[in-house]
Amino acid sequence: MRSSLRELESLTRTAGGAVAEALEQRLDRRVPGTLIGEGKVREVAEAARRHRARTVIFDEDLTAAQQKNLEAAIPAKILDRTRLILDIFSRRARTREGALQVELAQLSYLLPRLTGRWRAYSQQVGGIGTRGPGERQLEYERRHISRRIRHLKKDIERTKRERDVQRQKRRSIPVPQIAIVGYTNVGKSTLLNALTREGAVYADDKLFATLDPTTRRARLPGGGWAVFTDTVGFIQRLPTALVAAFRSTLEEAALADCLIHVMDATAEDPDAQKKAVEDVLRELHADKIPRIEAVNKTDRLTRPELRALREKRPEAVFVSASRKTGLEALLGRVEEALSGRWVLRELDMEPGDGALLGLAYQCAQVLSQTPVDGEPGRDEGRLRLKLRVTPENWARLRAIARDLLH
C-alpha cells in the first residue's frame, strides 16, 4: 500500500499539486456509499479543513455515488486515481491523435459518473397537454457526451488508418522494428536519445513525460540499421479507458520484432513495475515477442548495489542512458534477439543481374557489397552481397537467383 501511495504522491506532483498529508485505512471490506469508514471520512474532512486543501485524491476508483457522498462530507474537490492520471495525460498529449485519445478516455470515464445536479433545468415543449419539465440537463449532457464520443471514435479511426498506412510503408522497408517499453519515468526517451542521433526526443524526470510514440533509426554493431520506437509508459492499474484509447499507439509494441523492456535500477518495487508492464503486454498479445531487459540508471547505484542487482538479474543488460554507458552491449543483445527473425546471408551475383541487385536492396538490408575473388576471366564482375533478411524474403531472392541462372 505504501508504494502505491508514494506513486500517487508522484502523480499528484506531476499534475502540479503539492501533497499536504497522506492518510491510510485498512478495511476488511469497502463501504459501498463512501469507500472508507464513517470515522475516516470525518478525519479526511478535518485534515482538508486544517490544510485548506482544495482537492482530496483517493488511490482507488470511486463510483459516482461514492464521489457524490464524499463531496457532501468533505469540503474539497474529490478525485480518484483514474481521474488524476487522465488529467496528467491531457496535459502531456502533444499530437492531434494523442489529444483525441485522451479526450475519448476522459469522456468515457465521465459518462457513467454524471449526476443530476441541474435538475431545475428544463426545455419548454409546445402544444396543448405537452407543457412540462421537458428535458433535464442530465439527459442533455449524456446525449451531448455520447455524440462527442462517437465523433471522437470516428476521428481516431481515421488517424488509425493513417498510422496503419505509415506502418505498412515502414515495414515494407527492410529494417528491423524494435519497441522500447517500460514503466513510466524509467528513462525510455533518454535511452532512445542515447541510441540514436536523429534529433532529441523530449525527456523529463516526470511521470508520463511523453505520450506520443517517436521512431528513430540506430546503427547496429554488425552493420545496417534498426528502427527504435519509444512508447507510452505503463503504470500499476493503468486505467482500462486509457489502454483502450491508446491501443493503436501501444500496438507499436505488438508489431515489433523485438522489445526492450527498460527497468529502473533505483525503483523501490521493481517487481511490481515489471508485472504492470507484463500485464499490459499480455493484454496487447505482445508477450511472446523476443524481449531484452535493460536496467537503466545504473550510474545512481553504488558498486555493491550494482553487483547485487547483477546477481539478481543475470540475464539483464545494465545501462546508463544519461551517461551513454552499456549501449554497445544492449545493441549486441538486440542483434542476437533479431537473429531468429532477421538472418545473415550471402548472395553471389553474376554480372548484369541488375534486377536481382535492385530486388536485394528492396527487400533486404545490404550490409556489404564486395567483388568475388576467383578465376581470372571467369569470376570477373561477380559481386557478393552480405544481407540481413527475413527467411521469407531470402527464399524469394534465392528463387529469383535460380531462375536467372537457368
Would you say the pTM of this structure is higher than 0.85? no
User: Tens of pLDDT along 349-374?
Assistant: 877 777 888 888 888 888 988 887 75
Q: Which amino acid is at 255?
A: L
Give the model's confidence band at 376: pLDDT under 50 very low, under 70 low, under 90 confident, else very high: low
11: burial class by Cβ within 10 Å (0-12, 13-18, 19+)? buried
- CATH 3.40.50.300 maps onto the chain at 175-338
Establish how many alpha carbons lie within 13 A of residue 116's alpha carbon, considering only the half-sphere containing its beta carbon.
7
- CATH 3.40.50.11060 maps onto the chain at 2-87
Q: Which of 23-32, 116-125, 276-285 has the lowest mean pLDDT?
A: 116-125
- Residue 167 in this model has a pLDDT that exceeds 50: yes
Q: What percentage of the chain carries pLDDT values higher than 70?
A: 83
The CATH architecture annotation of domain 2-87 reads: 3-Layer(aba) Sandwich (3.40)
175-338: which CATH topology?
Rossmann fold (3.40.50)
Cα(first)–Cα(last) distance of the chain, in Å? 72
pLDDT confidence of residue 120: 38
User: Tens of pLDDT along 317-360?
Assistant: 999 999 999 999 999 999 999 988 898 899 888 777 778 888 88
**CA 317 – CA 216 distance, rounded (Å):** 21
Establish how many alpha carbons lie within 13 A of residue 190's alpha carbon, considering only the half-sphere containing its beta carbon.
24
- Residue 401 in this model has a pLDDT that exceeds 50: yes
Q: For residue 18, how far is the Cα from the chain centroid? A: 26
Q: Which of 54-58, 109-113, 329-333, 379-383 has the lowest mean pLDDT?
A: 379-383
Nearest to 246 by CA among 207, 210, 192, 291: 210
